[in-house]
Amino acid sequence: MIDYDTPAIIGHVLNTTGFASLGWIGHSQGTLMMFGLLADQPHYSLMVKPFIAMAPVCFVDNIMLSLRIASRVPFLLVVDGNPKSVKLIYPLMGYNLEELNSSRVDVYRAHGYAVSSFWNLVHFGQNIVAGDFKRFDYGTSENISRYNGPSPPKFPLTQINSTQIALIYSKSDQLGDNKDVARLIDTIKVPLLRDYFVPLPSWNHLDFIYGKDIYTYVHQET
């Protein structure tokens, strides 16, 4: 998704609109994709202005314990839209009754979850175990063939040169922990366009999408 999908999306939008740049608002994995692209190909900073990163998950050292355990058996992370799967994953990603619009739950179930590549989940699990933001680990032999070394390389986040990055994160996000966001800020070095901490202590990972007060706490800031 970093090497192919994200550049393809950007290219399609710019070619269709005739604009020289676009804004990218990413949530969770949507932030991971753009940070990876800006690290590998810093010239994309000229085309992506601004990049708004909600609940960033580049580093996941401090992700909740249950997901650290599940990361070693990636199929446990699969969400296929089945109500039983949704009931399993929702508490893991954040369950905030104060922000949940119960009248919309059926809509969330019908449209809020989609299948994902199994390798995508494996890669996320690998980064949890590695404690870093690395390329896919194919095993020693294939890594040597692809990367010229036995281990997958880190994404070079220090190469990011964009000054149009806004970070939006929260206290109760169990996937994008504050300590991991602080590590990200320290790693990328560049001055941020905005460093915004959601002032509601209970705001969690899924509230960035489904929170009924999202306009007040997030949209007004973006």
Residues with Cβ within 8 Å of 63's Cβ and at least 6 positions away in sequence, in order, are 128, 174, 175, 177, 180
Rounded to the nearest integer, the mean pLDDT of the chain is: 86
Q: Is 117's pLDDT higher than 80?
A: no
Of 104-113, 141-150, 162-171, the one with minimum mean pLDDT is 104-113
Query: Cα separation of 65 and 26, whole Å?
Result: 25
Q: Which pLDDT tens digit goes with each residue over 123-140?
A: 888 998 899 999 999 999
Residue 178: per-residue pLDDT? 93
CA–CA distances in Å: residue 59 to residues 1, 36, 133: 17, 12, 6
Mean pLDDT of 21-49: 96
pLDDT given at position 174: 87
Domains (range + CATH), the chain: 5-221 (3.40.50.1820)
Residue 59 has a pLDDT of: 93
Task: Give the pLDDT score at 109.
Answer: 74
Q: What is the pLDDT of residue 86?
A: 41
Q: How much of the chain, in percent, has pLDDT values that exceed 90?
A: 63
Helix, strand, coil: what percent of the chain each, to 5?
A: 50, 10, 40
pTM given for the model: 0.86
